[in-house]
Amino acid sequence: MWSIAPSGPLRGDVTVRGSKNAVTKQMVAAVLADGPSVIRRAPEVGDVEITAEILRSLGVSVEIDHAAGEITVEVGAHVKPEVPLSFSGLNRIPILLLGPLLHRTGEAFVPLVGGDPIGRRPVDYHISALRQLGAEVEERADGLAAKATQLKGARIDLPYPSVGATETVLLTAALAEGRTVLRNAATEPEVIELALLLQRMGARIELSPDRRIVIEGVERLVGAQSTLAGDRNEAFSYLVAGLVTGGAVRVHGCAQDRLVTAITTLNRMGARFEITDDYILASAPDGLRPAAVHTDTHPGFMTDWQTPLVVLFTQAEGMSVLHETVYEDRLVYVPALQQMGAEIELFQTCLGGPACRFHDANSLHSAVVKGVSKLRGANVEVPDVRAGFSSVIAAAIADGPSVLRGIHHLERGYHRPAEQFAELGLQLDVH
C-alpha cells in the first residue's frame, strides 16, 4: 500500500533497465539451450521472480544478481515436464514453455495463463500453432497438456498479429524439423529481441517483409548472452509523469527509436523534447492540447502507453479521445480515475480511428476525456500494472492525499518504482 500526498512538479532523472516484456521471454528461451545463458540489464520486477520460480520448479537453474542486473539460466540434467498448478494465473509465461518442454521431454503441462485483467488473451492461437507444428494438445479445466514425438515445420497464418502466439512459434519452431513460415507475425521490439537471442543461440531465423518470419529448424541450440534494450513502456510512463505534474523528467536507458510514435504523439499535445544519444527530456511549459489517439500493434501507438496517456488527457485543455484496438478491456483502470475526479466517458463505439475488431462487440474500448480536470485524493484499488502507474501520477496532482492498494501490481512491472518516484520528488509512504 502506498500513501501519496500532492507533490507538485516531478523533476529529475530516471534510468530504465531492460524491458519487462522481453526479459521473461528470454528466460524461457534459455530452456532450449545446452549451456548457460546470461541476460543483462534485467529489471528488478515481480514478473522476473515469478518466472524464475516457474523455471526452478522444472529443474532449471536460475541465478539473479539484482545489483548487476544479470540473470543466468541453465537447464539441469533432468527437466520436469509439468509446471505446478500453484503458478496458475500469476503471469503469461507458462504457455510459452509448452514448445521448449516438448523439445526437452516430449510432453508438457502448463496451468491456465494469467496476467493483468485487460481482456481476452486467447490461447487458441497458441494451441493452433502448436498443433500445426505436430503437437497433440489437450485443453483441460486446469490447463493445457501436450505431447509430441517430433515437432515439424509448418506454414502458420495468425488471425491477428499476437505477440504471445508469435513468441510461441519462435520458441517451438527453432528446434523443429524443417522450415516454418509464420505469416501475420507480431513485430514488436521485444519479439525481435527474442528472435535475436535465439539467433545467437544458433537458430536460423529470417525476418521477411509483410509480417512474415521464416524459421529453419536446427538440431541444437547453445547458451548465449544478451543485453536487454530499454523498457519503452517504463520510459514513456516517466516522461508522462513529468508532463502531467507540470515538471520535466529526463529518461536515460531507452533509445529514441523505441519511442518514435510516442514522442510524436506527445509533441502534438504541446510537449517539447530534448533528445540525445544518452537521454530524452520532455516538458510542456506552454500547457497541453487535446488529442485523438488510436492504439495498434507495432509500429503503431502501443496499447501499454495509453494508460498514462489518459491521465495526461485529463490535464489537456479540451476533449481528447482514446480508441483501444488491442485489448477490449484495457480501460479497466478508468473507474479509479473517475473516483479521483477525472471526467471520462466510455463507449462501445470505435472512436479516434478506423473501425477495429471490437466494433460489433459489447466492449467499452473507446474513451472521451474532458480536460482540464481537477483531481481529488481517494482510496484506490489498483487492478493491474499500468493502472498502478496512472493512479500514482493522478495522486501526485490531486488536491489531497490518496491511498493506493494493490500496489504489488505496479511492482510486478516497474523497476523499483518507489525509489524512482521518490527521487523525482513524489511524497509517498510505503506500508
Show which residues are catalytic: 116
409 in helix, strand or coil? helix
Q: What are phi and psi of 323, to 5 degrees?
A: -115, 110
Type of residue found at 409: H
Q: Assess contact for 318 and 289: CB atoms under 8 A.
A: yes
Cell numbers standing for residue 172: 517451438
Query: What's the CA gap between 206 and 213, in Å, rounded?
Result: 6
- The helix (H) or strand (E) run that includes residue 49 is helix 46-57
Query: What's the CA gap between 174 and 110, in Å, rounded?
Result: 20
Q: Assess contact for 147 and 131: CB atoms under 8 A.
A: no
97 in helix, strand or coil? coil
Task: Dump the DSSP string for 177-229.
Answer: BSEEEEES----HHHHHHHHHHHHHT-EEEEETTTEEEEE--S--B--EEEPP
Bridge partners, 69 (sequence order): none
Cell numbers standing for residue 239: 516522461
Query: What's the CA gap between 101 and 112, in Å, rounded?
Result: 16
Q: What are phi and psi of 342, to 5 degrees?
A: -70, 135
**Short-list 48, 171, 13, CA closest to 104:** 171
Query: What's the CA gap between 269 and 315, in Å, rounded?
Result: 11
Type of residue found at 207: L
